[in-house]
Every structure is written in C-alpha cells, then in structure tokens.
Amino acid sequence: MNGPSLKEQTSRSARYDVLLFGLLITLVMIGFILSLTSGSVSIPVSEVWNLLFNADAASASSSQARIVQELRLPRALAAFATGAMLALSGVMMQVLLRNPLADPYILGISGGAAVGALGVIMLGLASIWMPYAAFTGALLSVLLVFGLAGRRQGWSATRLLLTGVVISAGWGALINLMLSTSSNQTVHSMLFWLMGDLSQSRGQLWHFVLILVVLVLMMAQARPLNAMARGDLQAAALGVNVRRLRLSLYLCASLLTASAVTLAGSIGFVGLIIPHMLRLSGARDHRKLLPGAALLGGSFLMMADSLARTVIAPQQLPVGVLTAMLGVPAFLLILYRSRMPANASGNRELP
Amino acid sequence: MNPGMAAALFQIQQVSVTMAGKPLCNDLDLTLRAGERLAILGPNGSGKTSLLHTLMGLQKPRTGQISINAQNIAALSAATLAKQVGLLFQSAQDEMPATVLETILLGRLPHQHSWSAMSELDWKQVECAVTNMELSEFLNRDVCELSGGERQRVAIAALLAQSPQVFLLDEPSNHLDISFQIKAMQVLSEIVLSEQRALIMATHDINLAARFCDRILLLMGNGRYCEGRTCEVLTESLLSAAFCFDIQKISHQGHDFFFPAGFSSQANRT
C-alpha cells in the first residue's frame, strides 16, 4: 500500500485519544474544584486543599471545614457517581437497543423508581425510606420488563423497546395520579425529585465499586459491543454470544440506572447526550467510549450541580434543570462543528 | 474417497430448512472440498439466505447436521465457528456511526482476545483487504455516508479480513458496479483456489455463478433441489423450471450466457 501503513495511521489517532482522555481528566478535576468551592459560602481554591487533607490543623472544627468535608465533598462524589452511572448506562442502552435515541430511562426504570419515591413522599416517610423505595421500584420495573420482553425472543431490541416504553407509560400514569392527588407542599418535593436533585445525595464507596465493576466487565466485552452496534446477526456471525451479551448489558445498565435514580432522582439528558458528545468527538469504539462516558458524565454533572447551587444562591435549583440548560448548547455546538454526519440512521439529506 | 481429491472441508448431511412451516430444502446432502466454489441459485423465497444462515449456525436446521473439518458446528462455540466460517450479509445495518476502518477491523474479532492489541497478522489481513477492495481513500469516512456499492465493498473487506476457511456470501454482487462484481469474485476465487478454502454464494446472477463457481445448488422453491457441476445444472430446461420463466442460453467465445427470454409477451410491446 502507498503512503503510511494502516498501523502508523492508527498510532496517529492514538495520540488524539491521549489528548481526548487528558481533556476528560482535566474536566473531572475542574468539576471537583468547582463543586468544592462553589455554594452559598465561598471558599477559595487554596484553602480547600488544606481543609480536606490537613484535618489536624486548627481549622478542622471550623464551619468552613465542616461545609467542605461533610456537605460539599459527599455531594461532589454523588454528582460524579450519578453522572458516570447515567452516561455509562446510556452508552449500554444505545447498543442494547441499537437506537441512538435510547437513554437510561427508556425502559421504565426511572418510572418505577419515581413511583416508589413519590409513594413514600406521599406517606410522609421520605426521610428514611426514600432510597429503599426508589431502588425497589426501579428493580420491580427492571424485572417486569425483563419478564415481559420474553426469554424466547432473546430480548430482541424491538421487543425490549416496546415493552419498556409501555411500562414507562404505565408508571407515568401512576406518577400523574400521585401528583394530582397530593397536597401543595408534597407536590413541591415530588417535583424536585422528578427533575433530579442532588441536595440530599451522599456518594458512597459502593457507588464507585459498582461503576468500576461494570466498567471492567464491559471493557472486556468492548470489541463484541462494537460488533453488536452493527446488528445482532452480524455480531453472532463474528462469534459473539449475543444472547449472553444482551442479558449482561441489560442487567448492568439497569443496575447502574437504578442506583443513579436512587441517589439523585431522574436527572435527564446526561445519559442521552454524553455518549453522543463522545461519539461526535471521535470516540466510537467502545474501548474509548465506555471509560470516556464515565469521566465526561461525572464531570458534567459536577459542573451542572455547582451551577445549580450558585445561579440563584442561596436558593438551590434542581440539577436536572441545569443539565438540560448546559447540555443543549454544548451538544449543539459539537454537533455543528463535527465532521461526522449526525444522521446515524443513514437517511440522506434531501436536495 | 478418491485419494486424488482434496479433503472434505464442509459437509451438509440430510439438512432440512423450513421457514414459517414452509419447506425450503429437504434432506440436502452436499460435500464441499477444499478449493471448491458453489453457487446457490433459486427464485425469491426459495431459501438461499435461510440456508446460508443455517450454515453459519445462526439458525438451527430442522433436521440433519453440518460439519466443518469433520466437526459438527452445533458442538462448536460461536467464536470457534467464526474463525472458520464467515458470512457476508445481504445488507448491512448502520444505525450507529462507525468509520470504514473500524468496520473492517471488526472482521478480526473472532481472532482476538478481549484485552489484546492488534497483532501483526491482524494488520496484515486488514491491509490486504483494504487494498483488494480499493478502500484506502475511504478509511475515515462514516459507513452511513457511503453509497450502496461502497458499503458493500466495506462488508466484503471485513469478510476478507476475517479470513475464514469457508466464505458464505449472500448476494455478494449486490449494489456493486460491473467491474467490482468481477474484481470481488476474482479476489475471493483466488484465495479459495490458492489457499484451499471453500466458497458458497447465494446469487441471482446466473452468469456470475457460471463464471466463478465449480458447482451449483439450484433450489426449486418447493423443497426440492438440483445439485451438480456447473455445466450439468445450468441448462435452459432446469433454470426455466426453477424460475418459472423462459430462460435461454447463448454462446460467445466459448462461454455460455443465460438471459430471460419471453420477448414476445404483451408487456414488452407497450
């Protein structure tokens, strides 16, 4: 072959990947700094470091230290974990359903969680039972769709999608029923939950363990996932055990979504847009797309949450409002500037 | 077995395929030896694609068994089978974006482990496939924005990169211009003959089959079939019976060409 060999050309694109991941890690750091410094009490960057790591210093008992250690750090971790889980789940759902419009909530998981969460808000038990109720609702929805989509059909994309969308609609009706029969005070906290809100969220170790485990599991299947994006039959002909892969995709993505929804309510937009932002930036291979989505999703939600706390401080906005407000222009900018065609369906432009 | 003949590579024994209760082929017996090329011909819905999918292990035959190198494919894992048998699909599904290079690299999937990098052999096969299908200018284009023929060349290149023992081709000449129809078949034929592999292609192009295949499997559309050497099966009477249409033969420079006759029908005169 004339010119540089394929291998050389690919190593050039590897340099681009290093750049991309360098940028993503920088974004994560910026996200952390923003979440730790912004809020109704302003704490300069230089002091955050001291407050976090010099616990023995005299400042340890000060209110600033408590704000950073007990409020902002757990919330920043929660934001990162939620964003990473949603973006990862979005990538997986889009391959599972081979549909660029799929997002983590499309199969009704958030609906189930919302019914659980709103139920306990209605009963006035939200403070203790909220996470358990939301997680139970999400799992119930996962099992329902899983059972109804049918073993025999091998959870085909169309059947899963149809079942999920219908179950989702069912949850939607229940949610509206609860909203319309609740008092004004409860409706406000219900709406906050539905829009997605991190103010009560605390990131915990198991969230990160879950992300890591799913990431490792899926990275081991990254090449088969690339094949599955070309269709189930094509993947099967290339030696992929499609049934098993679809099953693990569905279960892992559902578990991530259920955890994210339990942690922060149904924050929209992250799971749909982050995978596309990365694909448009050239990371279409799942070996880059999966870790990239975790990093970008996490940093994006940390930034959105920082803004949610400061835009109309001391009042706080639900972060779900900000994800769309930030995400729409950012996504459109990338879409506009990208050289890759956006019409993934292969439809050609009309003359 | 005659010691002068090459070893049996691909064996189909008593295989019956049905679709929605309708028999497509009954008790098919066929042995493909190394270096042989077989064309499957037949009218629409006669079971060409179903048979190819069955041979790839994508659907189970109603009865009978298929073996490659004397191993029953039902006992092989999909991954092991994909190292030895590769299938070119009738059409590609491109809902998700991917570049031409990424699509061709997927052909190497059966030969790779999860965490391994591309080996020298992987690169060699891919480069060879790219050169053969003349795709070096296209590598970074998105597969969604290619023309039908270009997309087909990418699919053939991916199959060449996969480099299986048995090539299964579902209408390989789909969308290709005349020159690439011949080039693609020449490349595949050369690999099959020089490296003692085998090829089975379903096609509607009788003349392509006549030119490149040693044997023909003619599916009659009702479960019956006709199998034999190309010159035995490609006759006016058999083809006309299979397609329920008057098919005639002309000879030019020692080659036979088949064409649909029936010029005197009403529709042609209007």
Average pLDDT of chain B to the nearest whole number: 92
Q: If pLDDT is split at 50, 70 and 90, which confidence band does B1 have?
A: very low
Q: What is the pLDDT of residues A296-321, one digit of tens each?
A: 999 999 999 999 888 887 788 889 88
Query: 3-class DSSP state for residue A154?
Result: coil
Identify from A99, A221, A228, A340 which residue to disrupt to test chain B contact, counting B C-beta atoms within 10 A and taking the largest count.
Answer: A340
pLDDT of residue A192: 85
Residues from chain A that touch B97, judged by Cβ atoms under 8 A, are 279, 284, 340-341, 344
Q: If pLDDT is split at 50, 70 and 90, which confidence band does A46 have?
A: confident
Please give the interface size between A and B, counted as residue pairs whose CB atoms are below 8 Å apart. 115
Whether A95 sits inside 8 A of B144 (CB atoms) is: no
Q: CATH for B8-234, among 3.40.190.10, 3.30.70.1350, 3.40.50.300, 3.30.499.10?
A: 3.40.50.300
Lowest mean pLDDT among A59-73, A88-102, A248-262: A59-73
d(CA B215, CA A55): 82
Q: What is the pLDDT of residues B195-217, one digit of tens each?
A: 999 999 999 999 999 999 999 99
Whether B136 sits inside 8 A of A3 (CB atoms) is: yes
Residues from chain B that touch A7, judged by Cβ atoms under 8 A, are 118, 123
What stretch(es) of chain A map to CATH 1.10.3470.10? 6-37+79-337
Residue A60 has pLDDT above 60, yes or no: no
Q: If pLDDT is split at 50, 70 and 90, which confidence band does A10 have?
A: confident
ipTM: 0.92
pLDDT of residue B264: 73
Residues from chain A that touch B106, judged by Cβ atoms under 8 A, are 223, 226-227, 230, 238
pLDDT of residue B3: 45
Identify from A94, A238, A290 which residue to disrupt to test chain B contact, counting B C-beta atoms within 10 A and taking the largest count.
Answer: A238
Q: Which architecture, in CATH terms, is A6-37+79-337?
A: Orthogonal Bundle (1.10)
pLDDT of residue A154: 61
- DSSP secondary structure code for residue A59 in this structure: G
Q: If pLDDT is split at 50, 70 and 90, which confidence band does A342 have?
A: very low
Lowest mean pLDDT among A13-17, A343-347, B38-42, B129-133: A343-347
pLDDT of residue A341: 47
Q: What is the pLDDT of residues A116-167, one digit of tens each?
A: 999 998 888 877 888 899 999 999 999 999 888 876 666 678 888 999 999 9
Q: If pLDDT is split at 50, 70 and 90, which confidence band does A349 have?
A: very low
Residues from chain B that touch A224, judged by Cβ atoms under 8 A, are 109
Min Cα distance A239 → chain B (Å) is 4
- 3-class SS letters over chain B: CCCCCCCEEEEEEEEEEEECCEEEEEEEEEEEECCCEEEEECCCCCCHHHHHHHHCCCCCCCEEEEEECCEEHHHCCHHHHHHHEEEECCCCCCCCCCEHHHHHHHHHHHHCCCCCCCCHHHHHHHHHHHHHCCCCCCCCCEHHHCCHHHHHHHHHHHHHHHCCCEEEEECCCCCCCHHHHHHHHHHHHHHHHHCCCEEEEECCCHHHHHHHCCEEEEECCCECEEEEEHHHHCCHHHHHHHHCCCEEEEEECCEEEEEECCCCCHHHHC
Whether B114 sits inside 8 A of A279 (CB atoms) is: no
Q: pTM to 2 decimals? A: 0.90
Residues from chain A that touch B58, judged by Cβ atoms under 8 A, are 233, 236-237
